[in-house]
Chain A
């Protein structure tokens, strides 16, 4: 059982809706990540937080807005999404941002934009 949980597991939203994805890690880690997994494409890193501070934004459109209130929680706020944003959104955590630190993944949120 992974120590990283994500809610909701499935989400269907219209292009004008506003919704949020939640991630919580129970591992005492300091770094948290958002990834996007689209069909037939490799996982894409979206955002990285370390000790609540954003350290990476991989040119993600502003309709995706991350929030990290503390080292255990990470949110992804969604607004005015496009159908091509439909994907599996995965959260991960690691002890720190060290190169040797193993990343642990949550089960993901399957997002469908209609």
Chain B
């Protein structure tokens, strides 16, 4: 059974700092991996989707990488801003299923 782990559970950084969020998974037979953002009490906003054949995806200040062999994905946020404060979730679909398995998320606080 696939397990997704996100460490740390919470992270606090000063504004302007570059940061990396981590996601690890136990079964490397994945089809794609998505990073989501969730604001308090709100739904999920998709940030980046990486197909299993890809190594990374970029959108603005965000860069997500995928290393299937090591069972890891990272989300890099450049020049963090207070508006980036949210919980970041990673989720992945297995090679044989459309179902997403989610991590518990990392709660990010960017301090002005």
Q: Which residues of A contact B (CB under 8 A)?
A: 2, 4, 6, 31, 40-43, 45, 48, 56, 88, 90, 92, 94, 97-108, 110
| Contact call A42/B42, Cβ cutoff below 8 A | no
Q: Tell me the residues in window 58-109 of chain B with beta carbons closer than 8 Å to chain A beta carbons.
A: 89, 91, 93, 95, 97-104
B43 in the interface (beta carbon within 8 A): yes
Q: Which residues of B contact A (CB under 8 A)?
A: 4, 31-32, 34, 36, 41-46, 49, 51, 89, 91, 93, 95, 97-104
Please measure, in the bound complex, the distance between the C-alpha atom of A45 and the C-alpha atom of B103, giving whole angstroms: 13
Q: Chain A residue with minimal CB distance to B44?
A: A105
Which of A2, A99, A102, A103 counts the most B-chain CB atoms under 10 A from its CB? Answer: A99
A-B residue pairs in contact (CB < 8 Å), sample of 30 = A2-B43, A4-B43, A6-B43, A42-B4, A42-B101, A42-B103, A43-B91, A43-B100, A48-B99, A88-B41, A92-B44, A94-B98, A98-B98, A99-B97, A100-B32, A100-B51, A102-B34, A102-B46, A102-B49, A103-B34, A103-B46, A103-B100, A104-B46, A105-B43, A105-B44, A105-B46, A107-B42, A108-B41, A108-B42, A110-B41
